[in-house]
Amino acid sequence: MRILLGITHPLIRYGLEQLLRDLESIEYMVTVETKEDALKKLQQFPFDRVVLHDGLSGVLPIVSLRKQAGRALFILLYEKQPGVDSMYFHYRMAADTRIEGWEKNWRSMKRTAASTEIAAAGPQEGEMTRREEEVFRLKVNGYSVRDSAQLLGITSKTVENHRRNIAKKRQLKNNQDWIKEAAALGWLP
């Protein structure tokens, strides 16, 4: 089994590494701490499983990593969200992939989490959606509308709409306001 593991919390990463070693014969396991590192490793090595935390740092959208993962089982671990009882899991599997013991364990974990999950409300008024956060991060990191659209797999017009909505929600009038807001949110080094 060839696994890419993107979990930044050392204790959770260590526990998951041990669980995977107990469940599967591991050919190699590569760990990363940013989305950009994950993309490089996905381009460099073939993987059977990709396990990423949605809070992994970096400006790349998770969807671009999903696309790069190709036929690998893609498992995305989400942080506990307000209004959600437990950590929950999302995964994508190619239709012709065999279901093995490891995948059954993940399905069982997903069912358990889903049985206790409370539906999370959408963003509150003035809060950004996940997609708007992606667009915001790309803008403050110097990506053009066109580049952002290509990375996110959406049209330039959609990126412009997201930027307009963000500016309205956050009362941003110029690029300096965008940078100040990003710094206040802790999105800049």
pLDDT in tens, 107-118: 555 454 444 333
CA 34 – CA 112 distance, rounded (Å): 29
Partners of 74 in the beta sheet? 50, 92
Q: Which runs of consecutive H residues, i.e. helices, occur in the chain?
A: 10-23, 35-44, 62-69, 101-116, 130-140, 145-152, 156-170, 175-184
pLDDT of amino acid 119: 35
Residue bearing tokens 């899991």: 89
Cα 143-146-148 angle, rounded to 5 deg: 45
Whether this prediction's pTM lies above 0.85 is answered by: no
pLDDT at 68 over 60: yes
pLDDT-based confidence at residue 189 (cuts at 50, 70, 90) = low
Q: Which residue has the tokens 């049985």?
A: 115
pLDDT-derived band at 15, boundaries 50, 70, 90? confident
Would the pLDDT of 61 be above 90?
no
> Cβ distance 38 to 45 under 8 Å?
no
Residue range 164-172: mean pLDDT, rounded: 92
Task: Answer for the pair 38, 62: CB distance below 8 angstroms, yes or no.
Answer: no
Please give the residue that has the higher pLDDT: either 103 or 35: 35
**Residues whose CB is less than 8 angstroms from the CB of residue 28 and which lie 6 or more positions away in sequence, other chains included:** 2, 3, 45
User: Helix 35-44 crosses helix 62-69 at what angle (to 10 degrees)?
Assistant: 10
Instruction: Compute the half-sphere exposure of residue 45: CA atoms within 13 Å on the CB side of its CA.
Output: 18
Domains located in the chain, CATH noted: 2-116 (3.40.50.2300), 130-184 (1.10.10.10)
